[in-house]
Structure 1
Amino acid sequence: MTSVLREGKETRKITHTNDECVGCGICSDICPTSALNLGPILPIARGILEMDYINMNHDKCVLCGLCSFACPFDAIDFEINGENAKKIENYPKWNCGTEITKDDCIYCGKCEIYCPRDAIAMKRNLPNVEDLVMGETRTEVDKCINCRICVEMCPAEAITIKTESEKTTKKFTAKDIEIDKSKCMYCKICQKVCPEDAIKIICTSCMDIEQIPEVTIDGALVLDEEICVNCGWCEKICPTEAAHTKKPFEGEVILNENEEEDLICKGDSCHACQDVCPCNAITIVDNKSFVNQEVCVLCGACAKACPQKILNVNRTVMNLDNIKSASWQKILGSIID
C-alpha cells in the first residue's frame, strides 16, 4: 500500500491498495502528470517480485484524484478532508457491479469455486443425516469374533468395534459394537457380510419414504466487493441465474499476429497473458492464447504483459457515469479510444 498526502485549505490523500489492483495500468495511462508508473506486472503476478503494481511519485502527483475515479477495480482511494470522494455527488461513478440474489441461490457452491479472486465465501447449512435416514440397529457382541469385516465394508464408516485383551491368551475380543447413527445409511451391508449374524439392521425410511421430512438447504453467502472485479464467472456458471454482473467495459480482446514480422503468439512457452489475467479468462489452446470474452473485463493487463505486443484491447463502451468536467471527459475518454 502506498499513499500521497497534501495538507492545506483542503487535506487530500490518495492511497493505492495492491491487493485490489490487477495491474491493468489504466491509472498510469491517464495520469496527467505521469506520477504513476506501472511496475513489471509479469514477475509480480508470478510471485517472483514482491512489490506493488503501481509506483506513486510524490513529487509529481497533484492529487487531482483522476486515477481513483478511472480505476474500475476500486484499487485507488481518494479522500478530501477525510471523506471518500467517490461518495461526493459531483464526481464520476462506475455503473458496474455484481449481485447474488439470496432468494434464487441454492448454495451449490459453484460460484465460490470458480471465482478467480476468492471474492465469494459461502457457508452451507445441511440437514442432519439421522433426520432423513431412519432405522434400527441391533448388535450381539457375544457373537462377534472381531473379524472386522463389517468395519472394512461399511460404506459410511459408521461402525467401530471396541476390543479388550484377555490376560491369559492375550487375544483381543470384542467388547462392544458401536454404530454411529449420524453416519449409518441402514444399507444392511454389515448384516450381510457378518459371518456370525452379530448385527441386525432395519431401515424404516426405506419401507416408508413418506416418513422422510422435506429437505431444506440454506446458508449464507458473502461477496467481497473490494476484491471482486466483476468478471461474471459467477453469473456464467450459476445454475439458477442468481448471480448478475455488469462489467466496467464492453468490447473484446483481439489477437493480432504478423508472421512476416515474427509477431506470433508463443503459447505454452510464454503464457504471460494467462499468468497476469485477474479473471482466469485466458487459456492456451493449440499453443495459442484464447480469450474467453464472456468473463474478460477488458482491463488490459494481458496486453501490457505480452512480450510480442500482439494483444489489442478494444473497449467500445465504458460504464463510467457523471463525468461533468470537459477535461476529464477527454482524458477518461482515452481509455476507450
Structure 2
Amino acid sequence: MFNVERTGSEIRKLKYDDSKCLGCGICSEVCPTTSLRLGPIVPIARGLIEMDYLSVNADSCVLCGICSVACPFDALSLTVDGNDIKEMANYPTWEVESDVCEDDCVYCGRCAIACPRDAIVFERNLPAREALVRGEIDIDDEKCIYCSFCAELCPPGAITITNVPTSSVDLSNSSIEVDPSKCVFCGVCKRVCPQDAITEICSTCMLQDQIEVPEVTGTTFIIENECVNCSWCKEICPVDAINVTKPFEGKLEVVETEESVCKGDSCHACQDVCSCNAVEIVDGKAVTNLTFCNLCGACITACPQNIRQISRTSMKLTNITSESWNECLNKVLDE
C-alpha cells in the first residue's frame, strides 16, 4: 500500500491497493515519469517475500492519474479534492462488465466455487425437507431392544439412540428418537427391525399433487472491484446467466528457441503469478487457456526465459480525449 498526496489549489491523492494488484505492470508501462516500479512478483506471489507488487517514487510522481485510469483492476485510484477521477466525465473509463442475471440464475453455486479471486457472493435458501416429504413413523419403546440396526442403516441419519445399552441394567436409561426434519420415510428401519417395533407410512407419492413445487431462492452477485474478468464464472455457468466483458482483445503465445525453452514443472513462474488460474502444466510445459486469460501480462513479466509474448489488439478503455494521454495509454497495445 502507498499513498502520494499533493496540496495546492486542489488536493490530489494517489492510493494503491496491493490486494487488487495483479503484478501486470501496465501502470508502470504507461507512467510518463517512470515513477512506478514493479517488485520481484514471482517470490512475492509465492509468499517468499513480504512486500507489495508495486512501489512509487513520490518525488517524481506528478499525480497525473494515467496509471489509475490504465489499471483495469482498480488497484490504483487518483482523487482530486476527494473525487475519484474515474467518476469524472472528462476522464477515460473502462467499458468492462461481469454481471449475473438473477432471473436466469438457478443458484447452483458453481461460479462461486470456480472464481479464483473469491469475488462472487453466493447464498441460497432451500425449502424445508418436511415440506416436500410426507409420512408417519413411530417406534414402540416397549418392543425396541436398542439393537441400533435402524440407526446404523438409516440413509439420512434420522434415528438417534442415546445411552446405547451395554448390559441389562442399562436398558432403562436408553431412548430412541426420529428427527422428522431428516426422515424421508423410506422404510429401511421398518424392514430391518427384528422386533417389528417400527411402523412407517410414506404418503409423499399419494399427496404429490398437494405438495407445492419446491422454490429455491438466493443471491448471486459479483463484487465489481475484486473481479479480474477472467470469465471462469461465465464458462462454468450451466444456464448462461453470466456475462463477462474482458478488458483486452488479443493473443498470448509461447515462442521457444534453441536457447530458451519453457521449463514447465521446474519453473511454473507464470502459473504462480496468474490471477486467473489460466495456466496449467501439460506434458512438462506451461500452457495458457486463453478462454480464462484476461491478457494482463503478469506472466510475461514473470517468465525467466522471456519466451512468452502478448499482443493486445484493442482495449475497452473509452473517452480518451487527450492526445498525450492516448499516446501513453496505447503503449499497452501492440503497435
What pairs up with 1:90-105 in 2 under 5 angstroms?
Answer: 90-105=90-105
Aligned to 2:309: 312
Q: 2: distance between equivalents of 1:162 and 1:295? A: 53
Aligned to 1:29: 29
Amino acid at match of 1:191: K
Aligned CA RMSD, in angstroms, stands at 1.5
Residue 173 of structure 1 deviates from its aligned partner by 4.5
Write out per-residue CA displacement over residues 120-177 of structure 1, whole angstroms, 9 at most, x where no aligned residue.
02111000000001100111011111111111101101001234879x9533356432
Q: 1: distance between equivalents of 2:237 and 2:285? A: 28
Amino acid at match of 2:162: K
Aligned to 1:147: 147
Q: 1: distance between equivalents of 2:25 and 2:122? A: 32
Q: 2: distance between equivalents of 1:222 and 1:212? A: 31
Q: 2: distance between equivalents of 1:131 and 1:208? A: 11
Q: Would the alpha carbon gap of residues 49 and 115 (structure 1) be closer, same or farther in structure 2, given more than 3 Å must change?
A: same
What pairs up with 1:111-122 in 2 under 5 angstroms?
Answer: 111-122=111-122
What pairs up with 1:56-75 in 2 under 5 angstroms?
Answer: 56-75=56-75
What pairs up with 1:253-264 in 2 under 5 angstroms?
Answer: 253-258=252-257, 260-261=258-259, 263-264=260-261
Q: What is the TM-score of this pair, normalised by structure 2? A: 0.96
* Structure 1 alignment gaps of length 5 or more: none
8 Å Cα contact 1:145-1:174 kept in structure 2: no
Residue 284 in 1 paired to residue 281 in 2? Answer: yes
Q: 1: distance between equivalents of 2:234 and 2:209? A: 36
Aligned to 1:135: 135
8 Å Cα contact 1:205-1:211 kept in structure 2: no
SS at match of 2:235: helix
The more displaced of 215-224 and 303-312 is 215-224
The more displaced of 220-229 and 32-41 is 220-229
Write out per-residue CA displacement over residues 78-113 of structure 1, whole angstroms, 9 at most, x where no aligned residue.
000111111111100011121111111000001000
Amino acid at match of 2:250: G
Write out per-residue CA displacement over residues 156-207 of structure 1, whole angstroms, 9 at most, x where no aligned residue.
01001234879x9533356432111110011101111111111111000033
Residue 211 of structure 1 deviates from its aligned partner by 3.3
Amino acid at match of 2:109: G
SS at match of 1:21: coil
Would you say how many aligned residue pairs link Structure 1 and Structure 2? 334
8 Å Cα contact 2:146-2:164 kept in structure 1: no
Amino acid at match of 2:55: N
8 Å Cα contact 1:107-1:219 kept in structure 2: yes
Residue 331 in 1 paired to residue 328 in 2? Answer: yes
Q: 1: distance between equivalents of 2:109 and 2:143? A: 46
What pairs up with 1:1-337 in 2 under 5 angstroms?
Answer: 1-163=1-163, 170-173=169-172, 175-258=174-257, 260-261=258-259, 263-337=260-334
8 Å Cα contact 1:112-1:118 kept in structure 2: yes
8 Å Cα contact 1:250-1:318 kept in structure 2: yes
8 Å Cα contact 1:146-1:173 kept in structure 2: no
Amino acid at match of 2:81: N
Q: 1: distance between equivalents of 2:330 and 2:271? A: 27
8 Å Cα contact 2:299-2:308 kept in structure 1: yes
8 Å Cα contact 2:146-2:165 kept in structure 1: no
Amino acid at match of 1:8: G
Residue 6 of structure 1 deviates from its aligned partner by 0.3
8 Å Cα contact 1:137-1:200 kept in structure 2: yes
SS at match of 1:69: helix
SS at match of 2:209: helix
> Sequence identity of aligned pairs in percent?
51
SS at match of 2:234: helix
Q: What is the TM-score of this pair, normalised by structure 1? A: 0.96
Q: 1: distance between equivalents of 2:231 and 2:121? A: 16
Amino acid at match of 2:73: F
Residue 325 of structure 1 deviates from its aligned partner by 0.7
Q: Would the alpha carbon gap of residues 28 and 266 (structure 1) be closer, same or farther in structure 2, given more than 3 Å must change?
A: same
The more displaced of 169-178 and 153-162 is 169-178
* Structure 2 alignment gaps of length 5 or more: none
